[in-house]
Amino acid sequence: MKFLFKKISFAIGIMFCSMNVLCEDVDDVDYISFCDETTIVDNDLFENLNTVNFTFIDAEIADNCLSLEIGASGCDGNTWGFNLVDSEAIAESSPEQRYLKFQLINDEACLAYFERIILFDLTPLQINGSNEIILHIEGFDSSLNYKY
């Protein structure tokens, strides 16, 4: 009986130690590191951006990341590149509004169809003195409300 009690106590102690190691303080998490890409703020690039050959499936904002789900033809989608570019124009409304274009860089010459989710860091779009922006992404059917 004593031996069984020691084994159980030892197992419980190991569980508590491993739980302590696995947990991390949420306040120390850097949310930007969760985003795959950074949003670019550049009007010249915005004006000249090619935005064809993909389909928007979904878009949503979580924390400071915009999650874009897209579909396009390709061989496997692993070589795709992505840009999200802001026009630098801010519509003075309440809340303010910004205008963006998404670019898929796809050199894959296959007819298969793939879907990908890309996360963009939205912090470059934040406006001092504001905590909310309406985002309009060219080609996406609805606007997104970014609160920060």
Tens of pLDDT along the chain (148 residues)?
Answer: 554 444 445 545 545 444 444 444 444 444 445 899 999 999 999 999 988 899 999 999 999 999 999 999 999 999 999 999 999 999 999 999 999 999 999 999 999 999 999 999 999 999 999 999 999 999 999 999 999 9
**Closest by Cα among 140, 60, 53, 55 to 100:** 140
33 is a domain residue: yes
87 is a domain residue: yes
92 is a domain residue: yes
1 is a domain residue: no
Tell me what the pLDDT averaged over the chain comes to: 85
| Cβ neighbours around 56 below 10 Å, total | 15
10 is a domain residue: no
CATH number, position 102 = 2.60.40.2370
Distances (CA, A) of 48 to 15, 101, 142: 57, 10, 23
The model carries a pTM of 0.76
What is the percentage of the chain residues whose pLDDT exceeds 70? Answer: 78
89 is a domain residue: yes
State pLDDT tens for residues 93-124: 999 999 999 999 999 999 999 999 999 999 99
Question: Residue 70: which domain range?
Answer: 27-147
Domain count, the chain: 1
